[in-house]
Structure 1
Amino acid sequence: MDRRNVLKGAGLAAAAGVVASPAIAQSQPEIRWRMASSYPKSLDTLYGAGEMVAKRVAAATDNKFQIQVFAAGEIVSGLQVLDATQNGTVECGYTLSSYYIGKDPTFMFDTSVPWGMNVRQHNGWMYYGGGLDLVREFLKDYNVISFPAGQTGAQMGGWFRKEINSVADLQGLKMRIAGMGGQILQKLGVVPQVLAGGDIYPALERGTLDAVEFSGPYDDEKLGFVKVAKYYYYPGFWEGSAQPSLYVNMEKWNSLPANYKAILEAACAEANALCMAKYDAQNAEAIRRLVSQGAQLRAFPRDVMEQSYKEAFKTYSDIAASNAKFKKIFDHWSAFREKELTWFRIAELPFDYFVNQQQGQR
């Protein structure tokens, strides 16, 4: 064997490697996006889930694809994120679709449906039941594509200045509540108000609100509601699950290289799972702290629950009668929900009930 030829060949191979690596890297474009969030930075769960997406995308692309996250109010208000993404003011937005049911009640299906499905059922519908395809078809009219990118789980019913002993106590009550839940409670006498996260506490403190709902113990503690309203009700039946999404401007999405699209989609799926895990870990401790600070836990009265359930499905039927887009998704969602409830009744609910019963007897 000619040693000089071997060394020469090795040198050429090494040189080829030096050239090839940068050439591959250089073939990937440098992209800079802005993400408008509907949440303040203090909410490290919801605002943090958007940051999680941005960090994962940057890390997976060697910082070639960077997304800068802006809190509510820094570019647009928390309730204008869809509009900003739709018209290209920002490339993407992290938001809750239920903020936009004033445009079309069909928006609610992306986030949650009052008296609908829990987190696992909702994820099943979105990812494997055809729900995400239906939501994306609807959102084409708004020039955005959506990606599930967070979850809160079942939420609390909110903070009230006075006790609620029956439906009669809801009459004229001014409550911050977003989405379809507000429309349903309005039928029970509530006067719903829609405010972004950072605007709620001042209104409650000034007394322009009698009650607020936002999320659950971990987020609510950060927003300080316990300081001005002591009665903490459960459950938040209007959000048995609540899924924030990343909305991406359609033109910007279509212009991405295929591998960047795959990375962004995977980053959103990761945020969807980890956001829920963080809430599950943190809410259990936060509820204890809130009680120690004076929160008084209360269950909603039975008549409030029953009447809201009845009004919810009457509302859906009424909307479906005049809104073809809503009806298309509602019919599909209803059929999936029926099957899921049957399955969970067989295995999940008996398991959870027995474990909790035994825990209480220890």
Structure 2
Amino acid sequence: MDRRSVLKNAGIAGVLAAGVAPAVHAQATIRWRLASSFPKSLDTIYGAAEVFSQQVKAMSGGKFEISVHAAGELMPAFGVVDGVEKGTVDMCHTVPYYFFGKDETFAIGAAIPFGLNSRQMSAWMYEGNGLKLMREFYAKYSMINFPGGNTGAQMGGWFRKELKTLADVKGLKFRIGGFAGRIIERMGGVPQNIPGGEIYQALEKGTIDAAEWVGPYDDQKLGFNKVAPFYYYPGWWEGGPQVDFFINQKQFNALPAEYKAIVEAASSHAHVDMQAKYDARNPAALKQLVGSGAKLRPFPNDIMNQAFKVSMQVYDELSAKNESWKKVYADYAKFRADQNLWFRFTEATFDRFMQAQKL
């Protein structure tokens, strides 16, 4: 049977009955560039962008390709949002709270001190009002966001000297990401916002006294244990920090519907994949760090209590002067209260029991 005659003379039903599957629509070939805020050495957090890119390419049959560029290749780590807003790059992969200097509301899209844990954050984003509210806010910067990973609750960081009381925070030069620096500053510390790839040198030279990044797996790769012996927990400022893909709004709007769906599916896959990697790899890394001499310490209670008190004060102040913050935080805070009530009776009780067992 001549295929061309079939396509010419048969209706669509006849074509399908004949077992011929014509291309109803051929999608255009698209090439995008993605700027990451992370170094290639971090296969977890940087790697999420590569996972995303690979999924997009596979689901589009190679028609939609996104090249991933590490921090510094196309632009500085903290310049990626400007790059997306201006259209210099099509999209980026970053932590929203890096850009709280533009507007504190950015921080809510990632993590704020004593905020949601990772599961709660995903619930707020996907089933609560999180995506809706944050997308309304990001539209001011000509961007749309898609959740692109979560590290889970982080460690509190590496300190050259032991913290015994709240007084030890005063004058402490602490590399701490994003909005949490505001809290540390109120407590007498000196926050430093340094890209991941530059932290080791600053800690080694004594330019800073302490630094936090993510947790054992990444921290071991970055070698912080070699220059600061005390490893504190928990990272009360990052109970569930979300990493985002920001896409230039015009570029996203120009995509065919099929490609928009692919972007959404690929980002969700990368979102889950990142936390799975951290949860799977952190335990072994922590054992190795402790085995090599790292000294695990919980933050003293007076530091935790003061940090919580100051955080709530700052949130009230922001709600009084920043309308964007007020709108988003009001919804976030209500969701947080309901989540904590639920988790108190289920997740937290189960976790405490299991962690007390000798398995």
One-letter amino acid matched to 2:260 = K
Q: What CA distance in whole angstroms lies between the structure 1 residues aligned with 2:152 and 2:172? A: 26
2:289: which partner in 1? 290
> SS of the counterpart of 2:242?
coil
> SS of the counterpart of 1:79?
helix
RMSD, aligned CA = 2.0
> SS of the counterpart of 2:66?
strand
Q: What CA distance in whole angstroms lies between the structure 1 residues aligned with 2:109 and 2:21? A: 42
Identity %: 48
Measured at CA, do residues 165 and 258 of structure 1 come closer, stay the same or move farther in structure 2, by a change above 3 Å? same
Structure 2 counterparts to residues 112-127 of structure 1, below 5 A: 112-127=111-126
Q: What CA distance in whole angstroms lies between the structure 1 residues aligned with 2:8 and 2:221? A: 56
1:157: which partner in 2? 156
Q: What CA distance in whole angstroms lies between the structure 2 residues aligned with 1:62 and 1:28? A: 10
Structure 2 counterparts to residues 1-362 of structure 1, below 5 A: 12=6, 23-24=23-24, 27-359=26-358
Q: What CA distance in whole angstroms lies between the structure 2 residues aligned with 1:260 and 1:71? A: 24
Measured at CA, do residues 91 and 10 of structure 1 come closer, stay the same or move farther in structure 2, by a change above 3 Å? closer
Q: What CA distance in whole angstroms lies between the structure 2 residues aligned with 1:120 and 1:93? A: 23
> SS of the counterpart of 2:240?
coil
Measured at CA, do residues 353 and 255 of structure 1 come closer, stay the same or move farther in structure 2, by a change above 3 Å? same
Q: Which runs of at least 4 in structure 1 moved beyond 2 Å after TM superposition?
A: 7-18, 20-25
Q: What CA distance in whole angstroms lies between the structure 1 residues aligned with 2:202 and 2:72? A: 17
The Cα of 1:202 is off from its aligned counterpart by: 1.1
Q: What CA distance in whole angstroms lies between the structure 2 residues aligned with 1:226 and 1:186? A: 25
Q: What CA distance in whole angstroms lies between the structure 1 residues aligned with 2:235 and 2:208? A: 18
TM-score normalized by the length of structure 1: 0.94
Q: What CA distance in whole angstroms lies between the structure 1 residues aligned with 2:142 and 2:187? A: 36
Q: What CA distance in whole angstroms lies between the structure 1 residues aligned with 2:345 and 2:220? A: 36
Q: What CA distance in whole angstroms lies between the structure 2 residues aligned with 1:245 and 1:140? A: 14
Cα deviation per residue 1:189-214 (whole Å; 9 max; x = unaligned)? 11001111111111111110100001
Q: What CA distance in whole angstroms lies between the structure 2 residues aligned with 1:59 and 1:10? A: 30
The Cα of 1:348 is off from its aligned counterpart by: 1.2
Cα deviation per residue 1:76-131 (whole Å; 9 max; x = unaligned)? 11111111111011000000001000010000111012101111111111100111
Q: What CA distance in whole angstroms lies between the structure 1 residues aligned with 2:317 and 2:144? A: 28
The Cα of 1:24 is off from its aligned counterpart by: 4.2
Unmatched runs of 5 consecutive residues or more in structure 2: 10-14
Contact 2:38/2:71, CA 8 A, preserved across alignment: yes
> SS of the counterpart of 2:28?
coil
TM-score normalized by the length of structure 2: 0.95
Q: What CA distance in whole angstroms lies between the structure 2 residues aligned with 1:309 and 1:23? A: 59
The Cα of 1:358 is off from its aligned counterpart by: 2.1
Cα deviation per residue 1:210-268 (whole Å; 9 max; x = unaligned)? 00001000011111101100100000000001111000000100000001000011100
1:3: which partner in 2? none
Measured at CA, do residues 258 and 8 of structure 1 come closer, stay the same or move farther in structure 2, by a change above 3 Å? closer
The Cα of 1:355 is off from its aligned counterpart by: 1.1
Measured at CA, do residues 323 and 10 of structure 1 come closer, stay the same or move farther in structure 2, by a change above 3 Å? closer
Decide which moves more: 179-188 or 47-56.
179-188
Measured at CA, do residues 28 and 294 of structure 1 come closer, stay the same or move farther in structure 2, by a change above 3 Å? same
One-letter amino acid matched to 1:121 = Q
Q: What CA distance in whole angstroms lies between the structure 2 residues aligned with 1:14 and 1:155? A: 62
1:4: which partner in 2? none
2:12: which partner in 1? none
Q: What CA distance in whole angstroms lies between the structure 2 residues aligned with 1:286 and 1:71? A: 24
> SS of the counterpart of 1:355?
helix
Q: What CA distance in whole angstroms lies between the structure 2 residues aligned with 1:125 and 1:267? A: 20
Unmatched runs of 5 consecutive residues or more in structure 1: 1-6
Contact 2:98/2:179, CA 8 A, preserved across alignment: no
Q: What CA distance in whole angstroms lies between the structure 2 residues aligned with 1:8 and 1:324? A: 67
Q: What CA distance in whole angstroms lies between the structure 1 residues aligned with 2:343 and 2:3? A: 65
Measured at CA, do residues 303 and 61 of structure 1 come closer, stay the same or move farther in structure 2, by a change above 3 Å? same
Q: What CA distance in whole angstroms lies between the structure 2 residues aligned with 1:249 and 1:131? A: 19
> SS of the counterpart of 1:306?
helix
The structure with the greater share of residues assigned to helix is 1
The Cα of 1:12 is off from its aligned counterpart by: 3.0
Q: What CA distance in whole angstroms lies between the structure 2 residues aligned with 1:37 and 1:207? A: 28
